A and B are shown apart, each in its own frame.
Chain A
Amino acid sequence: MKNWFRHTIYIFSENPVSIFAVILFLLYVTMALVGHWLVPYDPYLTNTDIALQPPSVSHWFGTDHLGRDVFSRVVIATRMDLGIAFSAVALSALVGCTLGSLAGYFGGWADQIIGRFTDIVMAFPLFVLAMGLVAAMGNTVENIIYATALINIPFYIRVSRSEVSVRRNLPYVQAALQSGNSHFRALAMHIFPNTLPPLMVQLSLNSGWAILNAAGLSFIGLGVKPPEAEWGIMVAEGANYMISGEWWLVLFPGLVLMMAVFCFNLLGDSLRDIVDPLRRT
């Protein structure tokens, strides 16, 4: 454990960009976990007297058309956005890796069926598919998660299938089989952990992408519903005021959203190095 920790520190210190990414990531996680108690104003309290005020010392990101503090709303939206993204990514990684590993290891008809399912899902414009699903199933947070998860599953299937299939005949797998491991055990305990490095990159990039997807669905009105604070809705609401010059309504939630995605994209490489045993000395 101590070795692992030292290795992690080394990986991050090797690359200044990844330190930046980690700091940013920790910031987002903190906002998501304790943001609700730290915000200076009640994010849902309307006060039309101070509507549409530009950024100032008391309201850092300004106020919206109902006089709510934009900064507070941006902060508490983190929990919602990251929550949706992480649940969706976890769900699709779980399902996708399981299906992909089985297809890659056993091949044959399992591979055929799973492969064709992947092809079918990927034949849709993915965002439109997610829109359709949410529209059909109803506008709830759970449904956004399911839809986001479903459109990401093919990527996990593909990555884990190819990673498993190149490893299934390696000598150490044969050695595991002759040591009395069943095929399932050999797959789960010996092959799958070795496919983690490329999967970590996928996982991290996908988290960023899932945030965009959730925000995108909310932006077009198919996601989280107002008055809930969520970056996508805030951008959508703020877009109405752009012409009249209230730029802060769009800029700040958009910027926070962009930085979140950027952070996950940067994080991928470091995560891969952390789970790669060959990088340990």
Chain B
Amino acid sequence: MQARSFLDINRLSLEFKTRNGVVPVLDNVSMQLNKGEILGVVGESGSGKSVTAYSILNLNGNASTITAGSINFDGLLLHKPSSSLLRDIRGREISIIFQNPMSTLNPIRSVRDHLKDMLTAHAQSTQAGAEKKSLALLEQVKIRDPERVLDAYPYELSGGMCQRVVIALALACSPRLLIADEPTTGLDVTTQKAIMTLIRELALKHDVAVMLITHDLGMAAEYCKNIVVMEKGKVVEKGSVEKLFKAPEHAYTKKLIAATPTAQSELDDLTPDPMLIAKRLQITDDKILEVNNLHKLYGVKKGFSKKETFHAVKGVSFSIKRGECVGLVGESGCGKSTISRMVAKLDDLSDGHIIFDGEDIGSIKAKDFINSNMRKDIQMVFQDPSGSLNPRHTVFDAIVEPLKHLEKISDKKALHKRVLELCQQVDLDANLITRLPHQLSGGQKARVGIARAIAVNPKLVILDEPTSALDVSVQAIVLQLLEKLRHELGLSYLFVSHDLNVVRLFCQRVLVMCNGEIVEHGEVNDVFNMPTNKYTQALLDAIPHFSVNNL
């Protein structure tokens, strides 16, 4: 018999008590993890990967019960822990890096307080010694100027810095198992690379076992040795990275690998049976949108009378041809959302021109544009499919809004007919139209958002990270759907995204933004294969990727 692993989760089953009865969440989940190893737990939302990790530390709450199986952590049985054992183990033996670093840290406590708390709670240091140790920890996670950060409050730090602090906290007591629950979701790719490199380094140096929970196969491939693939509370496949990517056995693994956009894949490769798209759309030289020297300044209040201005967009010019899809990429804070909001006329510009369909709409104020007959020609699909739907409105209410107000249709039958037509266009089950947003899945919500945007037959649709909140397999379908709609309805897209792989396979041309300026633009293949700008190169370099050939 082989020696027991450092962490051994054996046939774990777990269920949650809910209003609609008992829901089984984990079913016979087994995984093993050794010291110094990084294990990737991969799966889409709701697959039970976080629940598995949380069950190690009993963080699932009172509604959950472990019905079968065991968790063995270096000889300690953690599936039926006493509260004193848990208190002892949490933070000291096993640490968690949570998903959202901003909300993991308590906003009213400084970094110093956080670290000191952790250190003294587990008797790792005296009150007096905590300071020195804290500084050492911050240096360990490569924070520049640790003295300043020690006195900072979470809101004064960027997302990447916060995550480093969270990692420092997790490492404060030299744990032997580190659970990283989507540690870089919501962070930029360059930051993601830095954080993941750091985690890998620490794992190797201190012989820490790391459980990396992620939905990003590319990341799992790049940083893990072994991978466990989960679907609907079950482990469907596990094995080494090499085996998994070269010869995936389970259908779900294959689907997941195919759906993840890589540097080589095409839009049709993402799903096993791609949508039939009649590629009849011809891109003409006729420009639907022309943006000239666009500026946006925000006034930031400093003190009583001082006002500083923040230059969010600094003289940006670009154009979109009729029928074309132009990608706009850049890291958070580069001004890409500001541009999309200005083009969508949801925000006023400070200077410059936006010429849409031959008319300068830049001079029209956003609040007057509502009454303009061009309002229906420019529509936007928002980033967060949940947040962009009114929680009190059913699917029907949501899609009918623009029809009522922009098309001025008031006949109930006509409205109903049009909504059903739209549902069919975006592949949304017509039975869902009486549902409320929280009763829908992420993909369904995204479809509602798209149906609402195309309801009034717009000429230009601004897609603001329309798939960033979706699972890869859903993203694949939504991207194909958008491509189909572009050809069927002759739409032009401005596609805002931080995911370069998606932009590459979805757009014809791309604009790379950095600090409010466009640093590079051109045909996607030219820009991605031969980037001339340093920033573009760094961005491309930071994308975690897997390619079967390199493994």
A residues with a Cβ closer than 8 A to B are 10, 170-172, 174-183, 185, 190, 193-194, 277-278, 280-281
Contact = CB atoms under 8 A, between A and B. Distances in A.
A171 B405 contact: no
Contact of A171 (B345, B383, B438): B383
Interface in B432-465: 436, 438-439, 449, 452
B391 interface: yes
B356 interface: no
B436 A277 contact: yes
A176 B405 CA distance: 10
A172 to B, nearest CB: 5
B307 interface: no
B376 interface: yes
B346 A190 contact: no
A181 B380 CA distance: 15
Given A180-B370, A180-B406, A181-B401, A172 B390 contact: yes
A174 B20 contact: no
Contacts of A190: 390, 393
B402 interface: yes
B317 interface: no
Interface in B373-416: 375-376, 379-380, 382-384, 387-393, 401-402, 404-406
A277 B438 contact: yes
B452 A179 contact: yes
19 contacts: A171-B384, A172-B391, A175-B389, A175-B390, A175-B452, A177-B370, A178-B344, A178-B375, A178-B379, A178-B380, A180-B404, A181-B401, A185-B405, A194-B390, A194-B392, A277-B391, A278-B391, A278-B438, A281-B439
Given A183-B367, A277-B436, A278-B438, A177 B387 contact: no
A194 B391 contact: yes
Interface in B339-388: 344-346, 367, 370, 375-376, 379-380, 382-384, 387-388
Contacts of B417: none
Contacts of B346: 174, 177-178
Contacts of B452: 175, 179
Contacts, number: 71
B19 interface: yes
Contacts of B370: 177, 180-182
Contacts of A171: 382-384, 387-388
B196 to A, nearest CB: 29
A54 B401 CA distance: 66
Given A172-B387, A180-B401, 18 more contacts: A170-B387, A171-B388, A174-B346, A175-B380, A175-B388, A175-B389, A175-B449, A178-B344, A178-B346, A178-B379, A179-B402, A180-B370, A180-B376, A180-B402, A193-B392, A277-B436, A280-B439, A281-B439
A178 B393 CA distance: 16
Contact of B388 (A172, A277, A280): A172
Nearest to B407: A180
A178 B404 CA distance: 12
Given A194-B392, A280-B436, A180 B405 contact: yes
A193 B393 CA distance: 10
A128 B404 CA distance: 50
A281 B384 contact: no
A13 to B, nearest CB: 11
Q: Which residue, of A170, A174, A180, has the highest number of chain B Cβ atoms within 10 A?
A: A180
Nearest to A191: B390
B405 A181 contact: yes
Nearest to B408: A180
A159 to B, nearest CB: 18
Contacts of B19: 10, 281
Contacts of B379: 178
Contacts of B384: 171
Contacts of B438: 277-278
A152 B384 CA distance: 38
Contact of A179 (B345, B387, B405, B439): B405
Contacts of B20: 281
Q: Which residue, of B346, B370, B376, B438, has the highest number of chain A Cβ atoms within 10 A?
A: B370
A177 B382 CA distance: 13
A190 B437 CA distance: 14
A10 B19 CA distance: 10
Contacts of A183: 367
B121 to A, nearest CB: 34
The 3 closest A-B pairs by CB, nearest first: A180-B405, A171-B388, A179-B402
Contacts of B436: 277, 280
A10 B18 CA distance: 13
A276 B252 CA distance: 37
B342 to A, nearest CB: 13
A36 B402 CA distance: 52
Nearest to B379: A178
B401 A176 contact: yes
Contacts of A177: 346, 370
B401 A179 contact: yes
